[in-house]
Amino acid sequence: MVDALLKMDGEILLFIQDHIRQEWMDWFWKAVTHLGDGGVFWILLGIILLFSKKTRPAGVAALLALLVGALITNVCLKNFVARIRPYEVVEGLRLMIERQRDYSFPSGHTSASFAAACALVRTLPQKWGTVCMILAGVIALSRLYVGVHYPSDVLGGMVVGIFAGWAGWKLMQMVMLQMEKKRRSV
C-alpha cells in the first residue's frame, strides 16, 4: 500500500510536468515558490502587522505560528523522516529551480505559508484572511510545479501549517491575556 502511494506521488509530479507545466507560466510559478523561501514573506508580513495596535494580535499570532511550524517541520519531521527530494528519485522529473539543501517531507514552504495564513485568517478581516489563504495554497502548488516536493510532502506541510496556525492563534490569545493582566495590575 505504501509503495503504491509513493509511486502515485511520483506519477502526479510527472503528470504536472508533462501536462500542466507551460513555458509561458514558468516565471510565475518560480516567483511564487520563491515568495515562500525561508518564510521571509510571512515573517515580514507578521512584523509589519506588529506596528499597528489594531493588527498587532494578527502579527503576534502569525509569528508564533511560524515558530511552531518551523520547530515541527524543520527541526523535527524533516530530519526524522529524511525523505529524499523527488528530482533525485523520480526518473524523468526535471527540476525547475535550484537544488534544495534539506529533506523533502514535509514541505517547509507549505507549512510556513499555511501556519501564517491560518493564524491570520482568525485575526484579520475576512477579505485579508482569504487573500492569505489563497496565497498559501498557490505557494503550496508551486512546490509541485517546480518539482521540489511530492504531493504528500505538500499535504503534510498543510497539516502541520494548519495546526501551527491554530497553535499560534491560541498562544497569541494567551500572550495578550497576560499582557492585559499586567497592564491592569500596574
| pLDDT tens string 98-142 | 999 999 999 999 999 999 999 999 999 999 999 999 999 999 999
What confidence category does residue 179 fall into, taking pLDDT thresholds of 50, 70 and 90? confident
Cis peptide before 57 (omega within 30 of 0): no
The residues that are catalytic are 109, 149
pTM of the complete model = 0.93
Query: 47-83, pLDDT tens digit by residue?
Result: 999 999 999 999 999 999 999 999 999 999 999 999 9
The region, left, alpha or beta by phi > 0 then psi within -120 to 50, assigned to residue 93 is beta
State the Cα–Cα distance between residues 142 and 72, nearest whole angstrom. Answer: 22
Res 2 pLDDT > 80? no
| Burial (0-12, 13-18, 19+ Cβ within 10 Å), 18 | exposed
Task: Check residues 184 and 15 and name the one with the higher pLDDT.
Answer: 15
Res 1 pLDDT > 80? no
Given this model, what pLDDT does residue 142 score? 97
